[in-house]
Amino acid sequence: MVGIRYDWQELEIRAIYNTPLLELIYQAASVHRQYHDPTKIQVCKLISIKTGGCPEDCSYCAQSSRYKTEVKPEALLEKETVVNIAQKAKETGVSRICMGAAWREVRDNSQFEEVLEMVKDVTAMGLEVCCTLGMLTANQARKLSEAGLYAYNHNLDTSQEYYSTIITTRTYSDRLNTIENVRQTNVTVCSGGILGLGETVDDRVGMLQTLANLHPHPESVPINILSQVPGTPLENQPDVPIWDIVRMIATARILMPASDVRLSAGRARLSQVEQAFCFMAGANSIFSSDDNKMLTVTTPCPDYDSDKEMLNLLGLGMRSPSQRQEKVATPAVVG
């Protein structure tokens, strides 16, 4: 079995990324089969529990208050609304519910208390629950853990070198600090990036190196494809070629063999054949929807029925929720 490493060098990762494509897919598929059931895909549902009005300046984001997009600020959803959405998703075979709030950071107020209650109630349904709420303190991470949170998403987005070109309202270190705060709890880490921001191959390699040298690796690594949102600075970015997406998934799978690699935002523009290549390369999770949107109306998402049809066609089943395993809190150190 291929071992798990935390000391990947830039030249090694570049060599993997540049491997002839079909050989790269074969290598990634071989690694994938050593750590995962290749016949199972985890289907997730993302709920925007607090939409729009974010003060950050992320150049890709429809929810930033700095840009004029079709996304309008909305209040925090009622807990009952979130629970009902989660219940409908569970009935279709979804095993992971992700709750996203357009906040820069979590504040210790009544809204955070409401989110904690949402986490408790959806977790009680037997689902994995992931939250993405912005920056967290160690104490806030502990409260989420006590509420039963399964995972916390905090993406790096891109390389440290390119990061300030995309976002200026928080630093790369801020993101790594939040991941480390989560690591002090029993909550798993979900962290990946976005393709299509104008980054180079060097930036993709750099981001993967940072993720792959976290000890332990993020349990989930989402690979997002930019949705070009009118009104944002990146609205005119070209589409990412499918083979770049496959290369990124395959490289992530080889570097972080035990992690779930999630084919996330932007999947709606991929054909069934293109998605099949992503699964062959090691992706083992997708986001599905009841309303054809992933987080907001600016990010289309396939619906439950079309995804079931695709999975059936490919002979793939829907994975059940993972059983939580108690772990010793481990710092997210690089090396």
Q: How far apart are CA 158 and CA 203, in angstroms?
A: 6
Angle at CA of residue 131, ends 128 and 135, nearest 5°: 150
* pLDDT at residue 120, rounded to an integer: 96
Position 60 in a domain = yes
Given the residues 142, 170, 204, 262, select the one marked as catalytic.
262
How far is residue 16 CA from its own chain's centroid? 22
List, as residue ranges, the binding site for [4Fe-4S] cluster.
Answer: 54, 58, 61
Q: Is the peptide bond before 216 cis (omega within 30 degrees of 0)?
A: yes
Angle at CA of residue 156, ends 132 and 62, nearest 5°: 60
Which residue ranges in the chain fall short of pLDDT 50? Answer: 324-335
* pLDDT at residue 323, rounded to an integer: 55
Question: Is 153 in contact with 220 (CB distance < 8 Å)?
Answer: yes
* pLDDT at residue 59, rounded to an integer: 86
* pLDDT at residue 334, rounded to an integer: 47
List Cα–Cα distances, 173 to 48, 68, 334, in angstroms.
26, 28, 12
Question: Which structural domain, as residue segments, surrounds residue 54?
Answer: 20-318
Please report the sign of the dihedral spanned by the C-alpha atoms of residue 206, residue 211, residue 131, residue 181: negative
CATH number at residue 120: 3.20.20.70
Number of domains the chain is built from: 1
Position 335 in a domain = no
Q: Is 33 a catalytic residue?
A: no
The predicted-structure confidence for 101-132, as pLDDT tens digits, reads as follows: 888 889 999 999 999 999 999 999 999 999 99
* pLDDT at residue 327, rounded to an integer: 42
Q: How far apart are CA 239 and CA 263, in angstroms?
A: 16
* pLDDT at residue 328, rounded to an integer: 37
Position 42 in a domain = yes
* pLDDT at residue 174, rounded to an integer: 94
The predicted-structure confidence for 299-317, as pLDDT tens digits, reads as follows: 888 999 999 999 999 999 9
The answer for residues whose C-beta is within 8 angstroms of residue 306's C-beta and 6 or more apart is: none
List, as residue ranges, the binding site.
Answer: 54, 58, 61, 98, 130, 190, 262
Position 28 in a domain = yes
Position 221 in a domain = yes
List, as residue ranges, the binding site for [2Fe-2S] cluster.
Answer: 98, 130, 190, 262
Position 3 in a domain = no
Position 240 in a domain = yes
Position 260 in a domain = yes
